């Protein structure tokens, strides 16, 4: 228990330091007016300064810990070192994302494509302590809410609107996750190796997963959790792995509340692990072997992996119900639902297996080294076994995703590539650590015999210093390239118009600059009513992302709540084109099972008002087709409607 408490204390201190470092970077850089990242090299240069400081902290943490752990060393150095390394990982996140985006109030990808619905979801979460749907009225959330609910509380605590909180919350949550995963690695491994694995994982997460921050948080923890899961379902002793079982249960429960795809992969991997452990134990028992393997002792009961798996499944499901229960209860009560189209996406990358180890470059070579290490150490290293089973699970998932296309769906296998890169890269760090250890040991020998003790120690220290310098240079080289890898995502953060009607690159804003006036018109039309009590039809990009009204229709069917009846709503809106009078249109709007709109945000078009709808076109790629519906001008005459012109928009207020 004292060991566990020390670990929790270290994690808590690391999280606080990560939050403090991130706050300093975000607040500090917001006080200075910087040029847009794409228009100047100033922010790029400052980013490298921040990244260099981050690596310096990690190196200082490693050296301090090693010095403190030597005979006669100071325990205070160990404690400081164990905090410096995770703080360095957090600073790497804050520098790599916070500084390039310092002159923008938007996060990576702006509010384009998927980031629009994510911003909308965070805005809705900031308006309620419950778990409301991101779009529709009177429905519980279908999309996992944990990260967004916490983001809503962050917005409330800081006094920010939901859209404005999205960037700092994304960076803060990633920085804290990076610090915590580094702490976890240093608990699972020796401190220096754990610190290296933590900062490498963080760097790769930033490059390949950071545009989807809540998914990146889950992905970052998958490699160490899979190692724990292997200890849980395949312990070396009958009573071993209990702590690992608890940790795996907590992670799967939390991840199921945050990001279902990665949770499905993790859960599937744990099932695979339990099956392999059971088969391995059975074979060893029949053969009487007590050699290396999942169960070194044949006396372990065959039911243990299944029992541990059941405990993990029940416990994690109970945790996940905190978020999923409202939706499940609504479904069980008979609320009509469609099948949903969340899995209807097959881009080019989803039609082939991800092979990062063949991509070349620094990341590719590290992944290749990891694959070789997993294969070479599969019989003797439990870490290699756990990571290897994770890699196998990713490829099985990808193959299954391609196979089920014959059934008219997918399993979104292409989205697992960041996880695959993390698994292979972590294994690659272990491979390079083994090679570095061989080189350091060889430095103390000559012609196969050990040098004199003092000379051998000196040479090994020099060799270790060379290895450390080379590793730091390689890490910094990769970190410097991350903003280039995220070039398009950063560009959109500067070219999209934000919720204040401004573009961060200082070019003239788009029509979104009129959203504030649209918002004013709607609120003045319904005095005393909050935005969260008004249903708005809006096909204008990002209006509902910036203003937390209830949506009459979701952005696309792929992120729509199945209880919201997306297709039926589309059909109802298509019927508005045939209305010939205000009374007829109002009747069409009022005779639906869901709430009618209180306002419509459209664009004047000829003799009517145009709206833009979307429909699923899977298996085509792109998988969304946009089409228009035009409300006749004569259909908004009469006492039920008021039309207000706002810039390029028409705001149609609907009266009861």
For residue 295, pLDDT beyond 60: no
Q: Give CA–CA dist 401/531, Å, rounded.
A: 40
* Confidence band of 75 (pLDDT split at 50, 70, 90): confident
Closest alpha carbon to 131 in 148, 117, 114, 115:
148
Per-residue pLDDT of 345-397, as tens digits, reads: 999 999 999 999 999 899 999 999 999 999 999 999 999 999 999 999 999 99
Task: In whole angstroms, give the CA distance from residue 245 to residue 311.
Answer: 8
Question: Does the residue 355 lie in any domain?
Answer: no
3-class SS of residue 630: strand
Average pLDDT (401-419) is: 95
Contacts of residue 351, defined as CB under 8 A and 6 or more positions apart, other chains included, come to: 402
pLDDT at 364: 96
Query: Which residues touch 323 (CB under 8 Å, ≥6 apart)?
Result: 131, 141, 144, 145, 146, 149, 256, 257
Contact between 61 and 195 (Cβ < 8 Å) = yes
Segment among 40-49, 335-344, 409-418 with least mean pLDDT: 335-344
Q: What pLDDT, on a 0 to 100 scale, did the predictor assign at position 336? A: 64
The pLDDT of residue 365 is 96
Cβ atoms of residues 420 and 411 within 8 Å: no
- Locate tokens 């007829």: which residue? 584
Report how far residue 162's alpha carbon sits from residue 14's, in angstroms, rounded to the nearest whole number: 27
pLDDT at site 291: 47
Determine which of 445-449, 501-505, 626-630 has the lowest per-residue pLDDT on average: 445-449
Average pLDDT over residues 211-238: 95
Residue 109 included in any domain: no
- Tell whether 583 is covered by a domain: yes
Q: Are 366 and 432 in contact (CB under 8 A)?
A: yes
Q: Are 21 and 172 in contact (CB under 8 A)?
A: no
Give the model's pLDDT for residue 288: 58
Query: What's the distance, CA 12 to chain centroid?
Result: 21
- Is 639 domain-assigned? yes
pLDDT of 158 above 60:
yes
At residue 501, φ and ψ (nearest 5 deg) are: 75, 25
For residue 604, the SS3 value is strand
The answer to whether residues 166 and 202 touch, using CB atoms and an 8 Å cutoff, is no
The answer for residues whose C-beta is within 8 angstroms of residue 427's C-beta and 6 or more apart is 369, 370, 371, 373, 374, 383, 384, 387, 388
* Cα 191–chain centre separation: 26
Helix (H) or strand (E) holding 537: strand 535-538
**Rg, Å, the chain Cα set:** 27
Of 156-165, 189-198, 289-298, give the lowest mean pLDDT range: 289-298
562: containing domain:
511-654
pLDDT in tens, 169-201: 999 999 999 999 999 999 999 888 999 999 999
The answer to the question of residue 530 being in a domain is yes
Residue of 634 and 79 predicted with greater confidence: 634
Mean pLDDT of the 555-569 span? 91
Q: Report d(CA 183, CA 230) in Å as an integer.
A: 19
Q: At residue 37, does pLDDT exceed 70?
A: yes
Give the pLDDT score at 445.
77
| pLDDT reading at 5 higher than 60 | yes
For the chain, the 3-state helix, strand and coil shares in percent, each to the nearest 5, are 65, 10, 30
What is the mean pLDDT of the segment spanning 293-309?
A: 74
| Whole-number pLDDT of residue 335 | 65
In-domain check, residue 57: no
According to the model, what pLDDT value does residue 232 have? 96
Average pLDDT over residues 97-117: 95
443-501 pLDDT tens trace: 777 766 777 778 778 787 888 889 889 999 999 999 999 999 999 999 999 999 999 99
Largest Cα separation within the chain, whole Å, is: 100
Tokens standing for 148?
Answer: 């967004």
Q: Kindly indicate the confidence band of residue 333, based on its pLDDT and cuts at 50, 70 and 90.
A: confident
- In Å, how far are 111, 526, 572 from 540, measured between CA atoms? 12, 21, 19
Assess contact for 135 and 561: CB atoms under 8 A: yes
Q: What is the pLDDT of residue 621?
A: 87
Q: What is the DSSP string of 36-91?
A: PGGG-SHHHHHHHHHHHHHHHHHHHHHHHHHHHHSTT--HHHHHHHHHHHHHHHHH
401-415: average pLDDT? 95
Of the given ranges (24-33, 146-155, 193-202, 456-465), which has the lowest mean pLDDT? 456-465
Locate the DSSP E strands across 552-654: 599-605, 608-616, 624-632, 641-646, 649-654
Q: What are phi and psi of 370, to 5 degrees?
A: -65, -40
Q: What's the rounded mean pLDDT across residues 306-314?
A: 97
Domain membership of residue 519 (yes or no) is: yes
Predicted confidence band of residue 301 (pLDDT cuts 50, 70, 90): confident
Q: In angstroms, rounded to a whole number, what is the distance separating the alpha carbons of residues 107 and 14?
A: 24
Alpha helices, DSSP H, located in 234-303: 242-256, 260-287
Using an 8 Å Cβ cutoff, are 84 and 186 in contact? Answer: no
Token pair in block for residue 82: 């164990």
Stated pTM of the model = 0.94
Quote the number of domains for the chain: 1
Tell how far CA 541 is from the center of its chain: 23
Angle in degrees, 0-180, between the axes of helices 417-443 and 213-233, rounded to the nearest 10: 60
Above 60 in pLDDT, residue 6? Answer: yes
Q: Is pLDDT above 80 for 2? A: no
Interstrand relation of 535-538 and 550-551 (parallel, antiparallel or unpaired): parallel
**For the chain, what is the mean pLDDT?**
92
157-184 in b/e burial notation, b at 16+ Cβ within 10 A?
Answer: eeebbbbbbbbbbbbbbbbbbbbbbbbb
> In whole angstroms, what separates CA 578 from the centre of its chain?
44
Domain assignment present for 31: no
């Amino acid at each position: 228990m004292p060991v566990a408490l020390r670990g929790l204390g270290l994690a808590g201190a690391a999280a606080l330091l990560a939050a403090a470092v991130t706050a300093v970077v975000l607040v500090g850089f917001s006080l200075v007016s910087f040029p847009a990242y794409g228009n100047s090299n100033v922010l790029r240069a400052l980013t490298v300064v921040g990244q260099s400081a981050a690596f310096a902290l990690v190196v200082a943490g490693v050296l301090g810990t090693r010095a403190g752990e030597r005979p006669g060393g100071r325990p205070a150095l160990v404690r400081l070192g164990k905090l410096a390394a995770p703080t360095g990982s957090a600073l790497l996140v804050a520098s790599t994302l916070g500084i390039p985006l310092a002159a923008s109030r938007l996060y990576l990808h702006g509010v384009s494509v998927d980031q629009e619905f994510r911003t909308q979801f965070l805005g809705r979460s900031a308006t309620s302590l419950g778990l409301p749907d991101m779009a529709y009225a009177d429905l519980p959330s279908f999309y996992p809410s944990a990260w967004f609910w916490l983001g809503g509380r962050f917005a409330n605590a800081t006094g920010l609107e939901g859209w404005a909180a999205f960037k700092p919350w994304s960076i803060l949550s990633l920085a804290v996750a990076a610090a915590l995963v580094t702490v976890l690695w240093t608990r699972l491994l020796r401190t220096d190796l754990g610190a290296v694995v933590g900062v490498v994982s963080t760097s790769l997460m930033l490059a390949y997963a950071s545009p989807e921050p809540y998914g990146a948080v889950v992905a970052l923890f998958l490699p160490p959790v899979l190692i724990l899961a292997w200890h849980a379902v395949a312990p070396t002793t009958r009573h071993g792995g209990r702590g690992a079982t608890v940790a795996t249960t907590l992670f799967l429960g939390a991840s199921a509340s945050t990001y279902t795809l990665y949770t499905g992969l993790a859960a599937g991997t744990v099932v695979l692990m339990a099956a392999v452990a059971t088969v391995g134990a059975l074979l060893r028992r029949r053969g009487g072997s007590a050699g290396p393997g999942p169960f070194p002792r044949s006396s372990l009961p065959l039911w243990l992996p299944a029992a541990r798996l059941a405990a993990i499944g029940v416990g994690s499901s109970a945790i996940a119900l905190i978020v999923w229960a409202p939706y499940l209860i609504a479904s069980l009560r008979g609320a009509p639902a469609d099948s949903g189209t969340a899995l209807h996406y097959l881009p080019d990358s989803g039609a082939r297996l991800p092979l990062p180890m063949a991509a070349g470059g620094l990341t590719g070579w590290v992944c290749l080294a990891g694959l070789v290490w997993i294969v070479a150490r599969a019989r003797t290293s439990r870490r290699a076994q756990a990571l290897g089973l994770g890699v196998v699970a990713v490829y099985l998932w990808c193959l299954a995703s391609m196979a089920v296309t014959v059934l008219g769906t997918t399993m979104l296998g292409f989205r697992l590539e960041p996880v695959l890169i993390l698994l292979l890269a972590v294994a690659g760090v272990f491979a390079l650590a083994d090679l570095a250890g061989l080189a350091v040991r060889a430095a103390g020998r000559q012609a196969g015999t050990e040098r004199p003790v003092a000379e051998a120690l000196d040479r090994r220290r020099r060799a270790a210093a060379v290895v450390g310098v080379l590793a730091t240079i390689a890490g910094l080289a990769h970190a410097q390239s991350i903003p280039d890898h995220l070039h398009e995502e950063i560009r959109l953060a500067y070219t999209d118009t934000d919720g204040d009607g401004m573009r961060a690159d200082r070019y003239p804003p788009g029509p979104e600059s009129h959203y504030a006036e649209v918002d004013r018109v709607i609120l003045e039309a319904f005095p005393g009513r909050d935005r969260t009590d008004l249903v708005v039809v809006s096909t204008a990009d990002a209006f509902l992302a910036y203003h937390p009204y209830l949506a009459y229709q979701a952005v696309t069917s792929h992120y729509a709540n199945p209880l919201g009846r997306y297709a039926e709503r589309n059909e109802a809106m298509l019927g508005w084109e045939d209305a010939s009078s205000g009374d007829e249109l109002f009747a069409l709007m009022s005779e639906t099972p869901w709430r009618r709109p209180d306002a419509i945000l459209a664009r004047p078009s000829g003799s009517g008002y145009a709206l833009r709808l979307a429909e699923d076109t899977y298996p085509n790629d792109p998988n969304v087709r946009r089409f228009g519906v035009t409300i006749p001008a004569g259909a908004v005459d009469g006492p039920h409607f008021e039309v207000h012109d706002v810039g390029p928009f028409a705001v149609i207020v609907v009266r009861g």
